[in-house]
Amino acid sequence: MLFCYILELLEGERRAYMSSNLQWIIYTILGISILLISFVAYGVYLYFT
């Protein structure tokens, strides 16, 4: 009974870790894409002025 409870707890911890890891990856990708977009926009702005 106790063993099953511990396994359940560990499973929950791993799931929480996975979701936070995924969230971190998403935020990193978003940050990089925003930086790239701003650089491209700045380049286009300089090119046309």
The structure's pTM equals 0.56
Q: Distance between CA atoms of 11 and 5, rounded to whole angstroms?
A: 10
Which pLDDT value is given to residue 6? 84
The per-residue pLDDT for range 3-46, each reduced to its tens digit, is 888 888 888 887 777 778 888 999 999 999 999 999 999 999 99
> Pick from 46, 42, 22, 13: which is nearest to 30 by CA?
22
For 26, the 3-state DSSP assignment is helix
Residue-level length of the chain: 49
Amino acid letter, residue 6:
I
